[in-house]
Structure 1
């Protein structure tokens, strides 16, 4: 199902692999009278990821021999009752390579989602941040409701297979009813299986967890690297604790001024732009583009494929067929990064010959489905956090009124993203606000990095975030590139600016442009 923000790190890592027991529960009575800020973490070798994290092998040591360590931090289940029941938040770290005299502290990462496991994501991306490791311990975590941190559980694997195979772009009343019924069943399952944790997974809760984490790790200030949804979490933290912000970078920036409707419409435009760029890139290569003679031909053939799949799916990953919804989701997943455009080309070329396996693998990756048919809890956590954060509740009549506007933004993705707005229908917990408050007067400077070709968090969001943080706080940097995020593009200008701030405290000039 389409969502406001998809998972960056965990999903892309899973895609690369596909294509080439909760640790601490609620209600620890012994912890009720503890000062949780004084807890000492028991760091140990990391176990293999569990099902909610996506399973797999334990993280391998880094090339220099750096070992991964994991620990569980206790936090209040309900921050309005900090002496009450606790939950366990799973953390991961690798120690700095530098001298103790040069160490700044811990640099905490959130790679996005909401719903992405930072415990599994950080090892997959750590080599990209080796320069930052010279002065920081690199730390990430599973936010509450995610992975090993008291995960939200909704439907089982078989039910999720059906959920993600359904027609997410209904054409008639019967299909609309089926989509709404399926959404209601999913949301009811979340309430039934995760009733205790559902009211406590808002971004404001996670921000308070971050501040507790800062104290437990021994830092006077929070040094932070937020990507995608991680920028929203960072902005909310800065609003709640402006004087405790240390050096912080926001990359692939969420527009904090938008409600879910505006965010979905922005994504429709963003993914259409990414598709346009993909098509132009394919036909501009010296070798013949195998999926179209011109950029328009590439897009026309994709549109025809999706219409055909709506009528008759093709074989995907046995025993499932590639449906229109799965194909659209697979295309969206590949557009997150220019590194995956080659997979999209191969997947489309294959699908035109009646084989939908590559597009289905891309879709599975986005949905958190492993090759053995088991799902992580990213979709459940994403829904729970998003619906708890966002006050609006959209019905089918609202979506139908908005369809022309979404189709104008993207003929290919408009319906898909518009119908995704019904995901919080009848959610068990009321939404907190129309959009997050990130105003942070008195905060240290926060470097806000926007990518002009970002499909998932369109470039305009960076300016909106910088403005909302406040004068003298948000410092905008522009990267003229492609894909979701800028630092991971390995652009030397972007990395130089980010590294210069995080390592040496040099704030780039506002308005700096990297190409």
Structure 2
């Protein structure tokens, strides 16, 4: 999950520096409520059409930012799979061919980086940039990325004017009074209304099961008999849903940094659990900052580092830094450290400059670029999709008393992200389009072994999610990076993890038992 500041808050699950062949019939009854006979039939019709049409691969549009040899195209899918002859949208896809020989090739590997709301179109650049972690997989597979429905170049949705979305400073996410809470509730309700006004035609269909159906149609358009898939963060839930609906369509599936797929967790409780895990990882980072006080001079104990954080927030609340960086913006910036180990050093360095008297460095790192209209539109779109999918996938509490009680209690012991996360998700309390019942994730007949990879101290997707999916997907294998907490394990250099992922993708083989790996190297200043 990747989190972006909005409504005075923060939030999105995403990892990273935020096919000719026979068509196999979909599972018609994996979950009657979510994959009805009509939806299964609609998926089959769409997949058959896609297989015949294929994909018209061309050079990517210049403004997409992907140069040759990456190619781009579109796949047509129904808005509503129960009505396959009704309105259609186009899913944007891109690819780069495998780097090995024809004999080496094992098909296409599709990728989702998370969100909901993340674009996977950058996936082929892992080949063009010669990322060594993916070299062996790239020899065997075409790397295929896509924008899920509603994202980027796939009928993008919107909830608010992008320039308004990025405007700063926003309200302090931590309320001091009932008036503060009322102000945040008003913003959340207005945001939900804006989603309906700007994108209401697609909102009821912005669900994870529909995205999984889209994924199956893309598989068919690529000419692939079965799916090879790498899903990270929210992409693990997409993979879990796909594996439940289409178990016989899966060839290889790696899920990395796992969303808890329990119906009881999607999505309200999952976000509360996330607040607990973020506090844990925030505390890990404070210990590291304190241990490196000779470099950063922020505080030589975790308690002193926390005091500096509280002081910084108070200063920004009293007078936003540079007139634009308040507590909400600080939370959005600093949460990258609990998210990713790669952010530990640069976040601490920027903070260190502030403590030494250089306020501008912090402002430059955080302040929105109002001239970047394309980037701002992408940020707003990502946030809109995050909200639309999470609000549509499940029924959310409508009682403000419940939200207030749960988050007030949690904030007392886990203050870093709790209220920011609450405001991020509160539009779901007043969501006007239909909210579904989550799919009962389970391994259907024919699902091959799935490889699950998880850091033990992940903030965005707590470890228990990987354990839960492991129980539900029979025959799966779990690789645990013990003592580590970075989100998105497969993209980090750790031979114990990387070698096993390569072996699985290249041969389908897993260890006979679950594996515990030592953590990757701790960042050094």
1:334-345, aligned counterparts within 5 Å?
A: 334-345=337-348
Deviates more, 1:109-118 or 1:271-280: 271-280
**Counterpart in the other structure of 2:325:** 322
Identify the match of residue 273 of structure 2 among 266, 279, 284: 266
Residue 477 (1) aligns with residue 447 (2) = no
Write the distance in 1 (CA, Å) between the matches of 2:218 and 2:372.
31
What secondary structure does 2:109 align onto? strand
Residue 506 (1) aligns with residue 509 (2) = yes
The answer to whether the 8 Å contact 1:46/1:69 transfers is yes
Write the distance in 2 (CA, Å) between the matches of 1:10 and 1:145.
21
Write the distance in 2 (CA, Å) between the matches of 1:142 and 1:351.
38
Structure 2 residue runs without a partner (length 5+): 1-5, 19-44, 519-525
1:144-293, aligned counterparts within 5 Å?
A: 144-162=149-167, 165-257=170-262, 258-285=265-292, 287-293=294-300
**Counterpart in the other structure of 2:434:** 430
Cα separation, partners in 2 of 1:288 and 1:310, compared to 1, 3 Å: same
Write the distance in 2 (CA, Å) between the matches of 1:309 and 1:118.
35
Write the distance in 2 (CA, Å) between the matches of 1:32 and 1:494.
37
Residue 441 (1) aligns with residue 444 (2) = yes
Cα separation, partners in 2 of 1:364 and 1:10, compared to 1, 3 Å: farther
Q: How far did residue 75 of structure 1 move?
A: 0.8
The answer to whether the 8 Å contact 2:173/2:423 transfers is yes
Write the distance in 1 (CA, Å) between the matches of 2:349 and 2:239.
37
Write the distance in 1 (CA, Å) between the matches of 2:261 and 2:360.
37
Deviation readout 1:105-133 (Å, 9 max, x if unpaired): 10000000010111145526862422211
What secondary structure does 2:103 align onto? helix
Write the distance in 1 (CA, Å) between the matches of 2:208 and 2:126.
24
What secondary structure does 2:377 align onto? coil
1:38-49, aligned counterparts within 5 Å?
A: 38-49=52-63
The answer to whether the 8 Å contact 1:116/1:378 transfers is yes
**Counterpart in the other structure of 1:297:** 304
Write the distance in 2 (CA, Å) between the matches of 1:215 and 1:378.
26
Write the distance in 2 (CA, Å) between the matches of 1:259 and 1:408.
24
Identify the match of residue 492 of structure 1 among 485, 490, 495: 495
The answer to whether the 8 Å contact 1:106/1:136 transfers is yes
Residue 464 (1) aligns with residue 468 (2) = yes
Write the distance in 2 (CA, Å) between the matches of 1:413 and 1:463.
24
Cα separation, partners in 2 of 1:245 and 1:163, compared to 1, 3 Å: farther
What secondary structure does 2:115 align onto? coil
The answer to whether the 8 Å contact 2:159/2:196 transfers is yes
Q: How far did residue 342 of structure 1 move?
A: 1.4
**Counterpart in the other structure of 1:313:** 320
Write the distance in 2 (CA, Å) between the matches of 1:421 and 1:503.
39
Q: How far did residue 420 of structure 1 move?
A: 3.3
Residue 450 (1) aligns with residue 454 (2) = yes
Write the distance in 1 (CA, Å) between the matches of 2:340 and 2:67.
25
Write the distance in 2 (CA, Å) between the matches of 1:448 and 1:164.
40
Write the distance in 2 (CA, Å) between the matches of 1:115 and 1:454.
20
Cα separation, partners in 2 of 1:131 and 1:347, compared to 1, 3 Å: same
**Counterpart in the other structure of 2:334:** 331
Deviates more, 1:389-398 or 1:209-218: 389-398
The answer to whether the 8 Å contact 1:252/1:450 transfers is yes
1:26-65, aligned counterparts within 5 Å?
A: 35-49=49-63, 58-60=65-67
Q: How far did residue 289 of structure 1 move?
A: 3.1
The answer to whether the 8 Å contact 1:73/1:89 transfers is yes
The answer to whether the 8 Å contact 1:111/1:228 transfers is yes
Write the distance in 2 (CA, Å) between the matches of 1:373 and 1:95.
28
Write the distance in 1 (CA, Å) between the matches of 2:354 and 2:377.
24
The answer to whether the 8 Å contact 1:8/1:112 transfers is yes
Cα separation, partners in 2 of 1:75 and 1:152, compared to 1, 3 Å: same
Q: How far did residue 139 of structure 1 move?
A: 0.4
Cα separation, partners in 2 of 1:49 and 1:95, compared to 1, 3 Å: same
Q: How many residues align?
A: 475
Write the distance in 2 (CA, Å) between the matches of 1:449 and 1:463.
10
Cα separation, partners in 2 of 1:42 and 1:393, compared to 1, 3 Å: same
The answer to whether the 8 Å contact 1:343/1:358 transfers is no
Cα separation, partners in 2 of 1:283 and 1:32, compared to 1, 3 Å: closer
Q: How far did residue 372 of structure 1 move?
A: 7.7
1:127-142, aligned counterparts within 5 Å?
A: 127=131, 128-142=133-147
Identify the match of residue 420 of structure 1 among 424, 435, 438: 424
The answer to whether the 8 Å contact 2:12/2:383 transfers is no
**Counterpart in the other structure of 1:6:** 13
What secondary structure does 1:407 align onto? helix
Write the distance in 2 (CA, Å) between the matches of 1:277 and 1:270.
11
Write the distance in 2 (CA, Å) between the matches of 1:10 and 1:48.
22
**Counterpart in the other structure of 1:79:** 81
Write the distance in 2 (CA, Å) between the matches of 1:33 and 1:498.
29
What secondary structure does 1:226 align onto? strand
Q: How far did residue 477 of structure 1 move?
A: 1.1
- Please give the TM-score of this superposition, normalised by the length of structure 1: 0.86
Q: How far did residue 226 of structure 1 move?
A: 0.4
Write the distance in 2 (CA, Å) between the matches of 1:33 and 1:138.
20
- Please give the TM-score of this superposition, normalised by the length of structure 2: 0.84
Q: How far did residue 440 of structure 1 move?
A: 1.6
What secondary structure does 1:497 align onto? helix
Q: How far did residue 399 of structure 1 move?
A: 2.3
